[in-house]
């Protein structure tokens, strides 16, 4: 089995890579700009390609797609964080 992972440069993607390696599962780790820490393993190959590009294609030998990629900025995170706090407060009242 081989997994194709988007968003491998983020925290969640990096943790998932470690999990897959520990369980001896092969994966192709897709990233766009950077990877915080490249993990060298016979179970991992890296694929640098922006998933928003028109010519982006998932390799044919992949069995499963795991999609963790997202577009984030510090400013958007602040707004999301405020909305999350509001939703938590509303749920506590219910």
Condensed to tens digits (0 to 9), the pLDDT of residues 7-49 reads 888 888 889 999 999 999 999 998 777 666 778 899 999 888 8
pLDDT at 35: 67
Q: What is the pLDDT of residue 48?
A: 85
What is the reported pLDDT for 22?
Answer: 96
Query: Residues, the chain, total?
Result: 94
What is the CATH code for 2-93? 3.40.50.720
Strand 64-67 and strand 2-6: the pairing is parallel
Domain parsing of the chain, residue ranges: 2-93
> Angle at CA 41, nearest 5°, toward 22 and 8?
80
The rounded distance, in Å, linking the Cα atoms of 20 and 3 is 9
Average pLDDT over residues 58-87: 69
- Kindly state the DSSP code that residue 89 receives in the 8-state scheme: H
């Amino acid at each position: 089995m081989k997994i194709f992972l988007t968003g491998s440069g983020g925290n969640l993607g990096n943790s998932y890579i470690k999990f897959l390696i520990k369980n001896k599962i092969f994966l192709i780790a897709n990233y766009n700009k950077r990877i915080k820490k490249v993990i060298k393993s016979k179970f991992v190959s890296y694929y640098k390609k922006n998933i928003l590009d028109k010519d982006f294609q998932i390799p044919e030998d992949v069995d499963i797609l795991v999609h963790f990629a997202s577009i984030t900025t510090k400013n958007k995170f602040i707004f999301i964080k405020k909305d999350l706090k509001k939703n938590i407060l509303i749920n506590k009242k219910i």
